[in-house]
Chains A and B, each alone.
Chain A
Amino acid sequence: MDTTVYRPADPAPAGPPAVRARSLRKTYGTGEAAVHALDGVDVDFERGHFTAIMGPSGSGKSTLMHLLAGLDTASSGHAFIGDTEVTGLNDNALTQLRRDRVGFVFQSFNLLPMFTAEQNITLPVELANGKVDRAWFDTLVRTLGLEARLSHRPSELSGGQQQRVAIARALIAGPEVVFADEPTGNLDSRSGAEVLSFLRRSVRELGRTIIMVTHDPTAAAYADRVVLIADGRIAGDITDPTPESVLAGLDALRTLEAPGADGSAPTTSQAVRA
Chain B
Amino acid sequence: MFRLTLAQMRRSIGRLVAAGVAIVIGTAFVTATLIAGNVMTQTTNDSIAAQFADADLVVSAPDDLTASEVDALRSVPGVDAVDAVQFMYLDLSHGAKRVFQLGVPAPSDPRFEALEVVEGSMPTGPGQVSLPTAVAERLGVGIGDTVTGSRNVWDESAPDGGDYEEVRDELTVVGTTDDPYGAYAQMGGAVVVTADDVAAWQAAQAMPDEPERTYSAAMVGLAPGTDLETARAALVAASPDQAAAVTPDEHAQSQARKMTGDQDVFTYVILGFAAVALLVAALVIANTFQVLVAQRTRTLALLRAVGANRSQLARSVLTEATILGVLASVAGILLGGLLTQVALLVARGADLGVPIPATITVTPAVVLVPLLVGTLVTVVASFAPARAATRVAPLEALRPADAPSLSRGGGRVRLVVASLLTLGGLAVLGGGIWLGGTGSPEIGLLAGVAGGAVSFVGVLVGAVYWLPGVVSFVGRLLAGTGSTARLATANTLRNPRRTTATSTALLIGVTLVAMMSTGAASARTSLDAALDDQYPVDVLVATDAYGSTGDAVPDDVVRAVSGTEGVSRVVELSGATVTLLDGAEMTMHGVDPEQARGVVRTPDVLAAFAPGTVMVPEADAESWDVAEGDRLELTGPDGATLEVTAHLGAIGNGWLLDADDAKTLDPDAVVSRLWVGLDDTGDATQVVPAIQDAIVSSDTPVEVAGIAVERAAMQSVIDTILGVIVGLLAVAVVIALIGVANTLSLSVIERRRESATLRAIGLSRGQLRWMLAIEGMLIAGVGAVLGIVLGVLYGWAGAATALSVMGDVSLAVPWRDVALVLVVALVAGLVASVVPGRTAARTSPVAALAVD
* Cα–Cα distance between A173 and B753 once the two chains are bound (Å): 22
Evaluate contact between B493 and A62: CB separation under 8 angstroms: no
* Cα–Cα distance between A155 and B757 once the two chains are bound (Å): 17
Q: In chain A, what residue has the closest Cβ to B852?
A: A108
Distance in Å: Cβ of B399 to nearest Cβ of chain A? 11
Evaluate contact between A104 and B844: CB separation under 8 angstroms: no
Binding site secondary structure of chain B: helix
| B491 CB contacts on chain A under 8 angstroms | 114
Distance in Å: Cβ of A117 to nearest Cβ of chain B? 14
The one of A62, A91, A115, A127 that contacts B761, using a Cβ cutoff of 8 Å: A127
Evaluate contact between B483 and A110: CB separation under 8 angstroms: no
Distance in Å: Cβ of A113 to nearest Cβ of chain B? 5
The one of A92, A106, A123, A124 that contacts B849, using a Cβ cutoff of 8 Å: A106
Q: Which of B393-441 contact A (CB under 8 A)?
A: 400, 402-406
Q: Looking at the complex, which of B241-249, B504-512, B561-569, B762-770 is the stretch in contact with chain A?
A: B762-770
| B759 CB contacts on chain A under 8 angstroms | 95, 98
Distance in Å: Cβ of A205 to nearest Cβ of chain B? 23
The one of A71, A108, A128, A170 that contacts B851, using a Cβ cutoff of 8 Å: A108
Distance in Å: Cβ of A140 to nearest Cβ of chain B? 15
Does B482 interact with chain A (Cβ within 8 Å)?
yes
Evaluate contact between B483 and A127: CB separation under 8 angstroms: yes
Q: Which of B763-802 contact A (CB under 8 A)?
A: 763-765, 767
Does B462 interact with chain A (Cβ within 8 Å)?
no
Distance in Å: Cβ of B360 to nearest Cβ of chain A? 52
Q: Which of A165-214 contact B (CB under 8 A)?
A: 169-170, 173, 181, 185-186
Can you list, as one digit per residue, whether each of A31-58 has a CB less than 8 Å from chain B (1) or not (0)? Answer: 0000000000000000000000000000
Evaluate contact between A113 and B404: CB separation under 8 angstroms: yes
Evaluate contact between A112 and B754: CB separation under 8 angstroms: yes
| B403 CB contacts on chain A under 8 angstroms | 110-113
Evaluate contact between B404 and A185: CB separation under 8 angstroms: no
Evaluate contact between B400 and A113: CB separation under 8 angstroms: no
* Cα–Cα distance between A246 and B767 once the two chains are bound (Å): 43
Known: A108-B400, A123-B483, A181-B849. A113 touches B405 (CB 8 A): yes
Known: A95-B762, A114-B406. A62 touches B849 (CB 8 A): yes
Evaluate contact between B762 and A110: CB separation under 8 angstroms: no
Distance in Å: Cβ of B717 to nearest Cβ of chain A? 52
Does A126 interact with chain B (Cβ within 8 Å)?
yes
Can you list, as one digit per residue, whether each of B837-852 has a CB less than 8 Å from chain A (1) or not (0)? Answer: 0000000111011010
The one of B400, B761, B765, B844 that contacts A123, using a Cβ cutoff of 8 Å: B761
Known: A98-B762, A181-B849, A186-B400. A110 touches B753 (CB 8 A): yes
Can you list, as one digit per residue, whether each of A134-166 has a CB less than 8 Å from chain B (1) or not (0)? Answer: 000000000000000000010100000000000
The one of A124, A129, A170, A185 that contacts B482, using a Cβ cutoff of 8 Å: A129
* Cα–Cα distance between A107 and B849 once the two chains are bound (Å): 7
* Cα–Cα distance between A76 and B494 once the two chains are bound (Å): 42
Does A99 interact with chain B (Cβ within 8 Å)?
yes
Does A66 interact with chain B (Cβ within 8 Å)?
yes
| B754 CB contacts on chain A under 8 angstroms | 110, 112
Q: Which of B793-852 contact A (CB under 8 A)?
A: 844-846, 848-849, 851
Distance in Å: Cβ of B680 to nearest Cβ of chain A? 53
Distance in Å: Cβ of A169 to nearest Cβ of chain B? 7
* Cα–Cα distance between A92 and B482 once the two chains are bound (Å): 19
The one of A71, A95, A112 that contacts B765, using a Cβ cutoff of 8 Å: A95
| B753 CB contacts on chain A under 8 angstroms | 108, 110
Does A72 interact with chain B (Cβ within 8 Å)?
yes
Q: How many residues of A contact B (CB 8 A)?
A: 34
Evaluate contact between B406 and A127: CB separation under 8 angstroms: no
Distance in Å: Cβ of B325 to nearest Cβ of chain A? 34
Known: A114-B494, A127-B763, A186-B400. A71 touches B758 (CB 8 A): no
Q: Which of A91-106 contact B (CB under 8 A)?
A: 91-92, 95, 98-99, 103-104, 106
| B487 CB contacts on chain A under 8 angstroms | 112
Evaluate contact between B494 and A169: CB separation under 8 angstroms: no
Evaluate contact between A99 and B762: CB separation under 8 angstroms: yes
Known: A112-B490, A114-B406. A104 touches B764 (CB 8 A): no
* Cα–Cα distance between A155 and B408 once the two chains are bound (Å): 13
| A113 CB contacts on chain B under 8 angstroms | 403-406, 494
* Cα–Cα distance between A123 and B844 once the two chains are bound (Å): 19
Evaluate contact between A127 and B494: CB separation under 8 angstroms: no
* Cα–Cα distance between A144 and B844 once the two chains are bound (Å): 29
Distance in Å: Cβ of B338 to nearest Cβ of chain A? 45
Can you list, as one digit per residue, whether each of A63-76 has a CB less than 8 Å from chain B (1) or not (0)? Answer: 00010000110000
Evaluate contact between A71 and B763: CB separation under 8 angstroms: no
Evaluate contact between B849 and A169: CB separation under 8 angstroms: no
| B758 CB contacts on chain A under 8 angstroms | 112, 127
Evaluate contact between B757 and A106: CB separation under 8 angstroms: yes
Evaluate contact between A124 and B851: CB separation under 8 angstroms: no
Can you list, as one digit per residue, whether each of B616-638 has a CB less than 8 Å from chain A (1) or not (0)? Answer: 00000000000000000000000
Distance in Å: Cβ of A67 to nearest Cβ of chain B? 10
The one of A72, A95, A107, A112 that contacts B764, using a Cβ cutoff of 8 Å: A95
Q: In chain A, what residue has the closest Cβ to B495?
A: A114
* Cα–Cα distance between A272 and B425 once the two chains are bound (Å): 63
* Cα–Cα distance between A124 and B759 once the two chains are bound (Å): 10
| B494 CB contacts on chain A under 8 angstroms | 113-114
* Cα–Cα distance between A69 and B404 once the two chains are bound (Å): 27
* Cα–Cα distance between A66 and B847 once the two chains are bound (Å): 11
Q: In chain A, what residue has the closest Cβ to B762?
A: A99
Q: In chain A, what residue has the closest Cβ to B846?
A: A71
| B482 CB contacts on chain A under 8 angstroms | 126, 129
Evaluate contact between A155 and B844: CB separation under 8 angstroms: no
| B849 CB contacts on chain A under 8 angstroms | 62, 66, 71, 106-107, 181
Q: In chain B, what residue has the closest Cβ to A111?
A: B403
The one of A95, A114, A155 that contacts B493, using a Cβ cutoff of 8 Å: A114
* Cα–Cα distance between A222 and B656 once the two chains are bound (Å): 110
Q: In chain A, what residue has the closest Cβ to B756?
A: A110
* Cα–Cα distance between A181 and B493 once the two chains are bound (Å): 30
Evaluate contact between B764 and A71: CB separation under 8 angstroms: no
Known: A99-B762, A127-B763, A185-B851. A110 touches B757 (CB 8 A): yes
Most buried by A among B754, B762, B763, B764: B762
The one of A62, A71, A103 that contacts B844, using a Cβ cutoff of 8 Å: A71
Does B760 interact with chain A (Cβ within 8 Å)?
yes
Can you list, as one digit per residue, whether each of A224-246 has a CB less than 8 Å from chain B (1) or not (0)? Answer: 00000000000000000000000
Known: A71-B846, A106-B849, A112-B754. A124 touches B400 (CB 8 A): no
Evaluate contact between B493 and A107: CB separation under 8 angstroms: no
Evaluate contact between B765 and A107: CB separation under 8 angstroms: no
Known: A110-B848, A113-B406, A127-B758. A92 touches B400 (CB 8 A): no
Evaluate contact between A104 and B490: CB separation under 8 angstroms: no
Known: A113-B406, A114-B494. A91 touches B765 (CB 8 A): yes
Evaluate contact between A104 and B493: CB separation under 8 angstroms: no
* Cα–Cα distance between A104 and B487 once the two chains are bound (Å): 19
| B406 CB contacts on chain A under 8 angstroms | 113-114, 153, 155
* Cα–Cα distance between A110 and B758 once the two chains are bound (Å): 9
Evaluate contact between A72 and B846: CB separation under 8 angstroms: yes
Evaluate contact between B848 and A106: CB separation under 8 angstroms: yes
* Cα–Cα distance between A114 and B407 once the two chains are bound (Å): 10
Ordered by A's residue number, 26 sampled pairs between the chains whose C-beta atoms are within 8 Å are: A62-B849, A71-B760, A71-B845, A91-B764, A98-B760, A98-B845, A99-B762, A106-B757, A107-B849, A107-B851, A108-B400, A108-B753, A110-B848, A112-B487, A113-B406, A114-B406, A114-B493, A114-B494, A123-B761, A127-B483, A127-B484, A128-B762, A153-B406, A169-B761, A173-B762, A181-B849
13 new A-B contacts, CB < 8 A, other than A62-B849, A113-B405, are A71-B760, A71-B845, A71-B846, A98-B760, A104-B761, A106-B757, A112-B487, A113-B404, A124-B762, A126-B482, A127-B483, A129-B483, A155-B406
- Interface of B toward A, CB cutoff 8 Å: 400, 402-406, 482-484, 486-487, 490-491, 493-494, 753-754, 757-765, 767, 844-846, 848-849, 851
4 A-B pairs closest in CB distance: A99-B762, A126-B483, A110-B757, A114-B490
